[in-house]
Amino acid sequence: MSHFDELLKLRDKQRQVAKKQPIVIKDTDVPWEENQHGRMKWFMHPCFDSAWNAYVLYAQQVDAGRKSGLQRCQGGVLFYGLDGKLKTKVNGELYEWGAGDLLTLPILRDGVEYQHLNTEKGAHATFLACEINTAHSLGVDKGSGFEELQTCGQITEKDLAPGSGLRVPVVTKRTDAPATLSSQYDRDFQRWMEIRGRYETGNLLVRGSDMSWEQNRMGKVCYYLNPQFEKNALRDWTVFAQDIRLHTGKHVHQGGLIIYVTEGEGYTVCDGTRYDWEKNDLILFPVKPGGVEHQHFNTKAGEGCRWIVLFYWPWWEEVASEFVQMQLHPDFH
Ligand SMILES: [Fe+2]
């Protein structure tokens, strides 16, 4: 068999997997596991035989008085708080955050060391974690190495001592900055230094309480990350919360984005078929020619019904996704 034939065979196999891929992944169908890093529930994983595997997505829960594993990774991970409060060490900084907040890990040359601590009394904390799946392209290690430096466990006094467990931030050498920008090589050099600088100094924590809601043609939404938000370290993502009071508008775009239900219950009409969902379910539209026409409904109009949406712009550019608005939101004027 030629390598070209292998490619066609892989395509056909992926088409068969796509036919069986559910639109809604029920929270109750995804088991919790206890591992070195803590209690985790994997919705999307590099080793899963899924039709759309562009992201790694899991929920993690940290009980009161406990800490997650201490991990080093390349960065580029997004954590969205679902309930409770956490203190998270990210290299040299400690971030206090919780439900409705978004904490991100920058992408740094020597990676990021991070650990979640729950110092609340009697209340667990749960969050959703998402990153792009590059395990088969850049490797699980990526550039920095992927290491579990300490396993999860009970918080000790040592963990809470000032500066304890906090890595000294890596300072990038800038002595080799280009003297002039007369060549494309040096202009590339300059651009790369600007990108690295953004990851080193950009904003990592976006608090839900600081954000404002907008009513647009599709619905009532609140943006956390967007490529046009210049202060954030991660610029290639869009993350927004959506409040579905009655129903959304109807539009068409390519699938593959993450829609995670954070409150209430409802249903989605996707290419003419109804799919029901509730809190903690994942909605995952297929990637297919022409994209997906869809509209979302709150089954208990007037009661809370919300979700969080995450997507990585370069993936959408790769599939030439477009937006076509088929029907306006009833509150848009
Ligand atoms: Fe949509």
Q: Pick from 282, 238, 257: which is nearest to 102 by CA?
A: 238
329: which 2 tokens?
């939101």
Q: Is residue 307 part of a domain?
A: yes
Q: How far is the CA of 324 from the centre of ligand 1 (A)?
A: 10
Q: How far is the CA of 270 from the centre of ligand 1 (A)?
A: 10
Q: Is residue 333 part of a domain?
A: no
Q: How far is the CA of 274 from the centre of ligand 1 (A)?
A: 15
Q: Pick from 160, 103, 152, 106: which is nearest to 129 by CA?
A: 103
Q: How far is the CA of 237 from the centre of ligand 1 (A)?
A: 15
Q: Are residues 22 and 152 in the same domain?
A: yes
Q: Are residues 36 and 153 in the same domain?
A: yes
Tell me the pTM.
0.94
Q: Is residue 217 part of a domain?
A: yes
Q: How far is the CA of 252 from the centre of ligand 1 (A)?
A: 7
pLDDT of res. 172: 58
Q: How far is the CA of 155 from the centre of ligand 1 (A)?
A: 41
Q: How far is the CA of 253 from the centre of ligand 1 (A)?
A: 6
Q: Is residue 195 part of a domain?
A: no
Provide DSSP, 238-303: EEEEEE-SSEEEEEEE-S--EEEEEESEEEEEETTEEEEEETT-EE-PPP-TT-EEEEEEESSTTS
Instruction: Among 114, 136, 157, give the residue marking a domain's end.
Output: 157
* Three-class SS state of 96: strand
Q: Are residues 123 and 235 in the same domain?
A: no
pLDDT of res. 326: 79
pLDDT of res. 301: 86
Q: Are residues 40 and 137 in the same domain?
A: yes
pLDDT of res. 168: 58
Q: Is residue 185 part of a domain?
A: no
pLDDT of res. 164: 66
How far apart are alpha carbons 13 and 10 in whole angstroms? 5
Q: How far is the CA of 34 from the centre of ligand 1 (A)?
A: 34
Q: Is residue 7 part of a domain?
A: no
Q: Pick from 70, 26, 47, 56: which is nearest to 128 by CA?
A: 56
CATH number for the domain that contains residue 272: 2.60.120.10
Q: How far is the CA of 219 from the centre of ligand 1 (A)?
A: 10
Q: Is residue 33 part of a domain?
A: yes
Strands 258-263 and 292-298: unpaired
Q: Are residues 129 and 259 in the same domain?
A: no
Contact (CB, 8 A) for 142 and 112: no
Q: How far is the CA of 293 from the centre of ligand 1 (A)?
A: 8
Q: Pick from 249, 263, 255, 247: which is nearest to 307 by CA?
A: 263
Q: How far is the CA of 90 from the centre of ligand 1 (A)?
A: 33
How far apart are alpha carbons 38 and 62 in whole angstroms? 7
pLDDT of res. 329: 78
301: which 2 tokens?
């109009």
Q: Pick from 19, 81, 125: which is nearest to 239 by CA?
A: 81
Q: Are residues 152 and 225 in the same domain?
A: no
Q: How far is the CA of 314 from the centre of ligand 1 (A)?
A: 17
Q: How far is the CA of 323 from the centre of ligand 1 (A)?
A: 8
Instruction: Among 121, 136, 157, give the residue marking a domain's end.
Output: 157
How far apart are alpha carbons 256 and 264 in whole angstroms? 22
* Total number of residues shown for the chain: 333
- Residue by residue, pLDDT tens for the chain (333 residues) are 999 999 999 999 999 999 999 999 999 999 999 999 999 999 999 999 888 889 999 999 999 999 999 999 999 999 999 999 999 999 878 999 999 999 999 999 999 999 999 999 889 999 999 999 999 999 999 999 999 999 999 999 888 776 666 665 555 555 567 778 888 988 988 888 889 889 999 999 999 999 899 888 888 999 999 999 999 999 999 999 999 988 888 899 999 899 999 999 999 999 999 999 999 999 999 999 999 999 999 999 889 999 999 999 999 899 888 888 877 877 777
Number of domains in the chain: 2
Q: Is residue 194 part of a domain?
A: no
Q: How far is the CA of 310 from the centre of ligand 1 (A)?
A: 11
Q: How far is the CA of 16 from the centre of ligand 1 (A)?
A: 25
Contact (CB, 8 A) for 127 and 57: no
**Domain extent at residue 236:** 212-327
